[in-house]
Amino acid sequence: MEKQEQVSTGANELLYQSGFGNSFSSEAIQGALPQGQNNPLVCPFGLYAEQISGTAFTAPRKLNQRSWLYRIKPSVTHEPFKPRTPTHKKLVSEFNQSTSSATPTQLRWKPEEIPDSPTDFIDGLYTICGAGSSFLRHGFAVHMYSANKSMENCAFCNADGDFLIVPEKGRLSITTECGKLHVCPGEIVVLPQGFRFSIDLPDGPSRGYVAEVFGTHFQLPDLGPIGANGLAATRDFLVPTAWFEDEVHPGYIIVQKFGGELFTAKQNFSPFNVVAWHGNYVPYKYDLHKFCPFNTVLMDHGDPSVNTVFMCPLISVLTAPTDKPGVALLDFVIFPPRWLVAEHTFRPPYYHRNCMSEFMGLIYGKYEAKADGFLPGGASLHSCMTPHGPDTNTFETTVGRGTDEAPSKITETMAFMFESSLIPRVCPWALESPCMDHNYYQCWMGLKSHFSHEGSDCCNKEIRSKRS
Q: Name 184's Cβ contacts closer than 8 Å, sequence gap at least 6.
A: 167, 171
User: 289 with 241: CB under 8 angstroms?
Assistant: no
88, 138, 249, 301: which is the annotated catalytic residue? 301
DSSP classification of residue 81: P
| Amino acid at site 87 | T
**352 carries a ligand binding annotation:** yes
User: 235 with 19: CB under 8 angstroms?
Assistant: yes
Rounded CA separation 189/318 (Å): 11
**209 carries a ligand binding annotation:** no
Residue 116 in 3-state DSSP?
coil
| Amino acid at site 95 | F
Residue 297 region by backbone torsions, left for phi larger than 0, else alpha for psi between -120 and 50, else beta: alpha
Rounded CA separation 177/196 (Å): 6
Q: What share of the chain is helix, strand, coil (3-state, %, to 5)?
A: 10, 40, 50
User: 219 with 319: CB under 8 angstroms?
Assistant: yes
Cα-based angle 96, 98, 99 (whole degrees, multiple of 5): 70
DSSP-assigned states of every residue in 57-91: TTS-TTT--EEEEEESS-TT-SPPPEE-SS--TT-
| Amino acid at site 259 | G
Residue ranges of alpha helices (H) inside 8-137 are: none
Q: Give the Cβ contact number of residue 27 at 10 Å.
A: 18
| Amino acid at site 3 | K
Rounded CA separation 295/422 (Å): 27
Give the N- to C-terminal CA distance of the chain in Å, as an integer.
76
Cα dihedral 129, 216, 169, 395 sign: negative
Q: Give the Cβ contact number of residue 250 at 10 Å.
A: 9
Residue 217 catalytic? no
**Cis preceding-peptide flag for 428 (omega within 30 of 0):** no
Q: Which residues are annotated as a binding site for homogentisate?
A: 367, 388
Active-site residues, by number, are 301
User: Which parts are annotated binding residues for Fe cation?
Assistant: 352, 358, 388
As annotated, the binding site includes 352, 358, 367, 388
